[in-house]
Every structure is written in C-alpha cells, then in structure tokens.
Amino acid sequence: FGVGDASANPTTALLLSIIQESTGRIATIIFADRVGTALEPECKMYRLAADVFNDAAMILDCLSPALSRGPRVLLLSSSSMLRALCGVAAGSSKASLSAHFAKWGNLGELNAKDSSQETVISLMGMLVYHWPAASSSPMNRAAVRAVSMHSLNRQRANLVLSTYLDQGRILDPKEVAVQERIFEWDGVLRWRGSSPFAAAKIGLNLRALLASLGPAQSRTGSIRDAEARLAKLIPVYTQEDFLVWYDAPKRLGHIILKEGAAAKSQLKAWALMLCIAHRHHAAGQGDAISAGFEANQELHRTTLQQVSSWWPGCVEQLRTAGWEVDTASLETRSGSRIRLDAAIGR
C-alpha cells in the first residue's frame, strides 16, 4: 500500500485497501451464486481451480510494483478477486472431500487431523522456502487425480454408462478416477472418453423445452406448435419422473424433471439422453431420425423402452461396484421442477 512510493499517503493506502476488500467480497457473492450448486458434484475440479486462482493471485501481486498507480490498483483488485474465488472454491470443495474421506462418520476427527497436517506442511515449507513454487501445481493435480469419488456426476456418468452399454460391465470408482478429466466442459456428452458429440442440460424449466420443440412466432410470440408437440411428447414419459428431448440440429439435450424426481430418476434421464444423442451421432444428421418431430419422437419412445429394460439391473451393478446412486450429483445449477396434471399425462 505505497511502500517505496514517496508520494503515497495514508488516505491513498486506506482507499486501496477498501477497493480490494470490496472487490473481493463482491466476487465472493457472485461466484457463490453462479457456481454454488456445482461445487459439490465437481469438487475435484474446483479444488484444483482454487490452487490455480491462488497461484495467479500471487503472480499478480509480484507484478504490481512494476506498474504505475492506476494499473496497479486494477492488478491488486484482480488479485483480491482471485483470492476470494480461491476461498470459496477451496472451502466448499474441501467440505465435500472431507465428507468423502470420513468413512465412519468421523468428520470432526478428520478435520482436526487435517488442520494439524496443514500446520506441519507449512512449517516444512518455511524450512525449505527455496523449493520452486511451480512444483506445487503438478503435486496438487496428482493429489486431486488420486481421489476416487463415489458419486456419479455428469462426466463419471458418461464414462460408466457408455462402458456398460459397450462392454456390459460397470467401471468401479478407481477405474473411473484414472480416466476422468479434472477440468471438463459443463454438460458435454462423451462416449467412453471420446470427443464431445453433444451436450445436455438437466433441471430446465418448461419454457426451455417449448423453445426447443418449436420456436415462437417473431411477431406474436406464439408457441402453439411447440405446445402441440409437447402434448404428444408427454404421454411417452407418463411412467417416468422426467421429460427428455434431444434437439438434433443443435446437438443439445433437454432434461425436464418432474416434482419429486429422485436421484435414480435423474440418472436414468441422463442415461436415456446419452443413448439418444449417441444414436443421432452414429446415424448422422442427414438420417431420417433427425428429419422431423415424429421420427425423433419415435426414437425417444423406443430408446426409453430399451433403457427401461436394462436399467434395474444396471442400478444393482452400480451399487455393487460402489457407486452412490441415491446421491444426486448431475445438476450443476439450481434447477426447476414441473408438476403435470393427470389429465395432461394421459
């Protein structure tokens, strides 16, 4: 705050401190609001991201003395924002990882020993302060990759379900930990780790589905065509706790959850979407299945029947392999639920 600057004064230092603190707190609120839901299912990604944020903040602090007063304020404010993001990401992901490692409900003991371990590591770091700071990032990456989570988020669900459909076996958490990416695009669909061929969103509201079924009229905003198609689509999912629709031209899947949809229903909806998108991808956009609504609806109907036939056995195998199928980890943003009257569902 003005060290080495003869023109600096206490007022300037106070204002800079206020700017930094305010910027960091605002960043904390916005970051928590935007990604709060994703912090638990994507805890490995955000734990490593916290280290990246902290390293970037340190680099900015080191660069700040070389700049003039105006750019320095901007740089230090950015540094404060990155530290705030680090605090939110590290704290939330640490809570999820601690719960994962507390196998016998000993969360308090685990946190106490973890704090002691951090103290020892800090002392060791002070003794070997000459150790290159750049070596911490690869070590953190290796530590995060070594964690085998038992919840099925989007990426792990893609790996497990596609392997099951191809090879008839369920990957266990350790096998998936070796294959999964730490940083993954939100909602992408992959088949056994292949390149992304589509994307899907879960927990959408009904308006998003209507917009996909048929665009509104430019002048009146009418969505009568979409409402008519929705009326045809609803009976397909009468026995399910979700509605699924894949927009082939945009390669985007929409998953609408009904009120009371459990974690297993959400996972089944994701499995159905993965199968439908993969069939479209394998057939190509010029095939008849993407030529119109009726053909696409029939594909949804037949694929749902096939998925429903093997789904109970798949769930049992998932449990046997150690996966927590009763833990909902697919939604990365606050989702919506819909309620359908019985008369509409017929």
Question: 263-283 and 154-167 helices cross at what angle (nearest 10)?
Answer: 60
CA 37 to each of CA 150, 186, 300: distance values in angstroms, whole numbers, following the listed order:
18, 13, 29
SS3 60: helix
Residue pLDDT tens, the chain, 346 long: 555 556 666 777 788 888 888 999 999 999 998 888 888 889 899 999 998 998 899 889 888 888 777 788 899 899 999 999 999 998 888 888 877 777 777 777 777 777 777 677 666 666 665 555 555 667 778 888 888 899 999 999 999 999 999 999 999 999 999 999 999 998 999 998 888 999 999 999 988 898 888 765 555 555 667 888 888 999 999 999 999 999 988 999 999 999 999 999 999 999 999 999 999 998 875 454 545 888 899 999 999 999 999 999 999 999 999 999 998 889 988 888 998 875 454 4
Query: pLDDT for 54-98, tens place per residue?
Result: 889 988 988 888 877 778 889 989 999 999 999 999 888 888 887
Query: pLDDT for 279-320, tens place per residue?
Result: 999 887 545 454 588 889 999 999 999 999 999 999 999 999
CA nearest to 189, candidates 254, 258, 234, 283: 254
